Amino acid sequence: MHCRLLSTNQSGLCTLLPVDGAANVPNDSFKINVDKNASILRMRGCASQPHLFATGGKEHELQLWDLNASERTKPIFLGKNVKNSMVDLRVPVHISDLAFLDNEGTKLVTCTALKHVRVYDTKASQRRPVMSLDFGTEALRTLCVTPDHQ
């Protein structure tokens, strides 16, 4: 088994690169769809399910991908924005970080530059977050999940 690094740019070009010196393993590139006015700001792999990775960003809602899928260019889960605000305005999407919450790769948490922490469950009957919290008074840039996933 070879070790590979998955990278992406903000427009969605993903590349799998061998990093263990295996010269006979070619680079593998594929493009994931990113809307014209959107950009990927964060990508994270699932440590316990190495074939899964998630992306999020500016006007790029949470998406879960499977490297083993026959069509890698389509997400296996596409999050949906929260409902409009109380004055019926669309809430901007600006995911600044994300992490997996479980070993199955089905629960994820995001934080946003707009002070929100959101939890998604890909097994739930909805694509919107199962929990959304306003957090603090400043933009959230990073998050960290404790080893026990609590």
Domains of the chain: 35-134 (2.40.128)
pLDDT recorded at residue 68 = 92
- 38 is written with which tokens? 């959107």
- 40 is written with which tokens? 């990927």
The half-sphere exposure of 107 on its side-chain side, counting CA atoms within 13 A, is 9
Give 40-76 pLDDT, tens digit per residue.
Answer: 999 999 999 999 999 999 999 999 999 999 888 899 9
pLDDT recorded at residue 28 = 84
Helices (H) and strands (E) in the chain, counts: 0, 11
Residue with tokens 């026990």: 148
Would you give per-residue pLDDT tens digits along the chain (150 residues)?
Answer: 567 789 999 999 999 888 776 656 666 889 998 998 999 999 999 999 999 999 999 999 999 999 999 888 899 999 999 999 899 999 999 999 999 999 999 999 999 999 999 999 999 999 999 999 998 889 999 999 987 755
The single-letter code of the amino acid at 78 is L
Greatest C-alpha distance within the chain: 58
Q: Which residues contact 31 (CB under 8 A, 6 or more apart)?
A: 12, 13, 14, 73
Residue 23 gets the label, from left (phi > 0), alpha (psi -120 to 50) or beta, of alpha
